[in-house]
Amino acid sequence: MQINSLPRYPLAHLPTPLEEMPALTRQLAGPKLLIKRDDQTGLALGGNKTRKLEFLLGDALAKGADTLITLGAVQSNHCRQTAAAAAKAGLRCELILNGKRPDLANGNLLLNEILGANLHWIDRSQRAAKLKELDAQLHAQGRKPYLIPVGGSNGVGATGYVVAMQELVAQLKATGRHVDHLLFGSSSGGTQAGIVLGARVAGFTGQLHGLSIDKNDPEHFEYETEVAQIANDCAAYIGSPVRVSRDDIKMVYGYKGEGYGVVGDLERDAIRLLARSEGIVLDPVYAGRAFGGLVDLIRKGTFKQDETVLFWHTGGAPALFAYAAELL
Ligand SMILES: *Cc1c(COP(=O)(O)O)cnc(C)c1O
């Protein structure tokens, strides 16, 4: 396996902390709860995309790129971390964002502007065409753009989470801990693809649960196939013989509420619960929803009292401030 010789641009503060949550564990009356703090990856307020961007930026620089292009929602954490990565590496950054510029640039959007990214607003239905057009324009201007897909979710980006699983397994070993269940929010699939492949590569034996942020089964059951595809692209990229099938991708459905980015009681309650028990801040779109789902599963008795459940905090708290009205 060639993972250590792949091009990688250092961006993250690693390893991220692995912490116990004793007060919350007591409050919910077991199972034992741990948290992996990828909200603390360090790049411009952190988050899971920073791990992917280390490998995406490594690849971009190896190919001589001078500009990163990516796309996402108005409050995309991925776009904000891409803007920061580009700034640090001395590249330009073009962001294609869904919809219309809001009157007040807040949260991640404010950070995009501060970080110096160029913003392009377009209706979501036309963004693929916009991406093509922008790419062609930049080429015509003599620039060398590098396209990063939504969420940084491809084989190159997922490598960041293969390495993250190696990091987790090393932390568990060093501290004599064992994890029975690992749960995280899943949306564009790169994080899950890397975690599933990384579990096999690093010998992690706990059960993996990707909580779907924005899809319901069976409406979107092709998601598992997409995640497996990213994992296999990643295996090819890192030179691993492991292959993943769609049956290896275990999803938790049923928590998408009113849809992507629509805050409900699940998120409001989950954000307050973790903040008031452990002093840890979640976000309203991803980690708040995933954690809310986890709390619901715990209350329904899904896990045994003597098991250990790890929640992987994927970041996103900068978006909180753009959702102040919905959260209060
Ligand atoms: C992007 C994101 C996720 C989902 O990760 P994917 O790799 O897109 O599935 C989860 N949490 C936060 C905070 C994110 O920004």
Q: Residue 47 phi/psi, 5° resolution?
A: 130, 170
Q: Tell which of 125, 151, 177 closes a domain.
A: 151
pLDDT tens digits for the chain (328 residues)? Answer: 689 999 999 999 999 999 999 999 999 998 999 999 999 999 999 999 999 999 999 999 999 999 999 999 999 999 999 999 999 999 999 999 999 999 999 999 999 999 999 999 999 999 999 999 999 999 999 999 999 999 999 999 999 999 999 999 999 999 999 999 999 999 999 999 999 999 999 999 999 999 999 998 776 679 999 999 999 999 999 999 999 999 999 999 999 999 999 999 999 999 999 999 999 999 999 999 999 999 999 999 999 999 999 999 999 999 999 999 999 9
Question: Among 213, 214, 184, 177, which Cα is nearest to 198's?
Answer: 184
Instruction: Return the best residue to mutate from 40, 41, 48 for the ligand 1 pocket (most ligand atoms within 8 A of CB).
Output: 48
State how far the alpha carbon of 112 is from the alpha carbons of 66, 107, 119, 122, 152, in Å.
18, 9, 8, 16, 16
The encoded tokens of residue 194 equal: 């890397």
Report how many domains make up the chain: 2
For ligand 1, whether the C-beta of 261 sits within 6 Å is: no
- Asked whether residue 13 falls in the same domain as residue 143, the answer is no
Provide the whole-model pTM. 0.98
Mutate to test the pocket of ligand 1, among 286, 289, 294 (most ligand atoms within 8 A of CB): 286
Note whether 288 and 176 are same-domain residues.
yes
Annotated catalytic residue within 5, 76, 186, 212? 76
Q: Are residues 161 and 177 in the same domain?
A: yes
Tokens of 140: 């015509």
134 & 232 share domain: no
Do 67 and 105 lie in one domain? The reply is: yes
Same domain, 231 and 310: yes
Question: Tokens 């070993």 identify what position?
Answer: 173
- CA of 142 from ligand 1 middle (Å) equals 33
Q: Please indicate, yes or no, whether residues 159 and 270 belong to a single structural domain of this protein.
A: yes
With a 6 A CB cut-off, is 108 part of the ligand 1 pocket? no
Domain of 132, in residue numbers:
49-151
Give the residue from 151, 168, 186 where a domain finishes. Answer: 151
Clarify whether residues 131 and 93 are in a common domain: yes
88 and 192 fall within a common domain = no
CA distance 163 to 50: 12
Instruction: Tell me the C-alpha to C-alpha distance, in Å, between residue 257 and each of 62, 285, 291.
Output: 42, 11, 14
Q: Out of 97, 132, 151, pick the residue that ends a domain.
A: 151
Identify the CATH number of the domain in which residue 90 sits.
3.40.50.1100
Is residue 76 annotated as a catalytic residue, yes or no? yes
Q: Domain check: are 57 and 205 in the same one?
A: no
139 plus 33 within the same structural domain: no
